[in-house]
Amino acid sequence: MKNILIIGATGQIGSELTMRLRNEYPEGDVVAGFIKGAEPKGILLESGPSHEVDITNPMQIAEAVDKYKIDTIYNLAALLSAVAEAKPQLAWKIGVGGLYNTLEVAREKKCAVFTPSSIGSFGPGTPADKTPQDTIQRPKTIYGVTKVTGEMLSDYYAHRFGVDTRSVRFPGLISYVAPPGGGTTDYAVDIYYSAVKGEEFKCPLKPGTFMDMMYMPDALRAAIEIMEADPTRLIHRNSFNIASMSFDPEIIAAKIKEHIPGFRMTYELDPLRQKIADSWPNSLDDSCAREEWDWHPEYGLEEMTKDMISHLREKFGIPAPSHQESEVAMAY
């Protein structure tokens, strides 16, 4: 990879992936694609080129590819699960129509394409524990429908036109940088913000709601390593199960309490997110990714929790409690 276009560069994944790619590929152009109203700011704007690219406008994709001689496109444009349920037509237009536009440009201009899929591409009929790489995918959300369609369309462009399409099925992603936007797994980010700010957290999902989750640094590394993988080893392309940890609200709350003893959580269920989460797997089998391109996670719940808490304290200027304060908090 040398000249890379990230479509959706100011979103939850894109804002961090763009910076990571600029660090990994300093000799090329790593272009931040954005839409009006979500322009790059600060270090994202100052550290490299940016270009207006609305994925529903194929001309803008082609223009950016030509201008920067793009060889690889990261397509991160999507409406996340809960928001998509409120706007299914727009979710399809971006998730599938936008992907089609991207694949057509990639076919004509010989670009490789990464489009993430998700654990949301599975449905209630899928084996829920250690979900296999190849299994039934009948999602009940428009988000899942766009992701399954995207997997099949990307595979089609690979075997029909030779476009180098690759993808991973991301779990719920957790990060301290860009806040999440309208996903079902967002609670696993919001809980850290509440804990660090000393606020009681009202959890939207009930105890026992297990889902695969992943710390953002692992997700970014997966998105890069899959595109750098030796294509002759790939049996699959769109899309690989990847996993690192599976937990429910009780488990993550208990882990946070180990670090912030005063943390309190109650439940205030969100019926839509609960219904979506109940239709998704509890955990994925990622053995194919491990065998075909050496995938492995580096963060578990303990490492992620320590890192999230320290970075969020820094972000909000909240000092870590002294040892004595912690002792007192433990006493209650």
Contact residues toward ligand VAH (CB under 6 A) are 80-81, 118-120, 143, 170-173, 183-185
Q: Which of these is catalytic: 74, 143, 157, 215?
A: 143
Q: Return the residue matching tokens 């397509």.
A: 75
Residues 6+ apart with CB under 8 A from 117: 147, 148, 150, 151, 167, 168, 169, 170, 238, 239
Tell me whether residue 120 or residue 297 sits nearer to ligand VAH (CB atom).
120
Tell me whether residue 45 or residue 83 sits nearer to ligand VAH (CB atom).
83
Residues 6+ apart with CB under 8 A from 101: 55, 56, 57, 58, 61
CB-based closest residue to ligand VAH: 183
Tell me whether residue 58 or residue 182 sits nearer to ligand VAH (CB atom).
182
CB of 242 to ligand VAH, least distance (A): 11
Residue 124 is given by DSSP the state T
Tell me whether residue 48 or residue 172 sits nearer to ligand VAH (CB atom).
172
Residues 6+ apart with CB under 8 A from 163: 103, 106, 107, 111, 112, 113, 157
Q: How far apart are CA 65 and CA 73, in angstroms?
A: 9
Does the active-site annotation cover 143? yes
CB of 298 to ligand VAH, least distance (A): 19
Strand partners, 265: 201
CB of 248 to ligand VAH, least distance (A): 15
CB of 319 to ligand VAH, least distance (A): 31
Structure token pair of residue 132: 């296999």
Q: How far apart are CA 304 and CA 326, in angstroms?
A: 20
Residues classed as catalytic? 143
